[in-house]
Amino acid sequence: MKPIEVAIENGLKLREFENLKKAEEFFLPLIEQYGNELKKLFFDVFNTDLQYSFTFLDIFDKIVRECISGKKYESTGLTLEKFDRALGVYFGDLAVKTRFGKWVVKEDGFVKNRFNLGIEEANGYCYHMGLSLTSSDYNPNDNKAVILKIFTEKFHLPKIFKSKYLEEHLVNSINNFNDKRYSEANPTITISSQEIDNFKRFDIIPHLYDIEVLLQEEKKPNTRDEVYHYLQYYCWKTQNRVVCQFLIDRLKFEESIPIRKQFFWSRLDMIENLASYDISVLLRIANDNTDKNFKNCQDLLKKNKINYH
């Protein structure tokens, strides 16, 4: 099947609602319901308070494995299906309580009136819909970390960024950006309201060739993501024409699955004044309905009041 056919087939499996309000009335109460179910299971069967912190995740994985191997979720009346839903809700609540995202209900992008529950990242442009964690993610016979690995992949938690292609002070700038991006600042503030790095004083234009080489040679998507995040916010902070155009051009070459394509294209929303850039490529795609990104480009151009017909 073609990717679009798979996407439509998956969309048809989702629940159907008349509108978003009806979908939210169904989905949002389930967060508290399944959260309470899991809390009861952890306390009644394992005498453990369910916690929402990264330091708790080793204990969480251990208890989940015991639940799976001995079907202990049945002790509090849960079926395997409901246990899976509870795990998915915990994953989402972990993201919310650690300020990586918020709960959202969204209509499927391919099938009208089909909705799903998921997490919108705190930066506001990436979504993780459906259950991100289920019992099928666990192998009862090993002790490898599960939920932290999946969380890291979903939310691109930064490790120390290293690259042989970039100069040390640029690597340091990217790491400084990551430190602030994932800071535990209190009170809670979103990434867009934080003062990130000294972008207005740091000129990365001389480093664009090296960045281009890195993005071409780096095989790990999450490592490329760190650089894309950095470039995106550099564009947002500076509106630098050269860097913005570099980001647009790079998106043409990003070879990824359709969902990641959507993820990358959506980053162009951070560029406020497309009219001042060479947008011939965007115009061409917007008028080519055989290109999977044509609708994204149309929406982007309309948002910037640019006629694409």
Mean pLDDT of the chain: 80
CATH code at position 84: 1.20.120
pLDDT band at 73 (very low <50, low <70, confident <90, very high): very high
What integer pLDDT is reported at residue 158 of this predicted model?
61
Report pLDDT digits (tens) over 174-195: 887 776 665 544 334 444 555 5
Please indicate, yes or no, whether residues 12 and 146 belong to a single structural domain of this protein. yes
Taking the model in full, what pTM does it have?
0.59
Look at residue 301 and tell me if it is in a domain: no
What integer pLDDT is reported at residue 128 of this predicted model?
84
Inter-residue contact 124 to 18 (CB < 8 Å): no
**Structural domain boundaries, residue 43:** 3-155
| CA angle (109 as vertex; 148, 136 as ends), nearest 5 | 30
Q: Residue 143, class by beta-carbon neighbours within 10 Å (0-12 exposed, 13-18 middle, 19+ buried)?
A: exposed
Q: How many domains does the chain have?
A: 2
CA 23 – CA 36 distance, rounded (Å) = 21
Average pLDDT of the residues in 216-234? 79
Please indicate, yes or no, whether residues 113 and 16 belong to a single structural domain of this protein. yes
Look at residue 163 and tell me if it is in a domain: no
**Which of 46-60, 113-127, 158-172 is most confident?**
46-60
Please indicate, yes or no, whether residues 66 and 209 belong to a single structural domain of this protein. no
pLDDT band at 287 (very low <50, low <70, confident <90, very high): confident
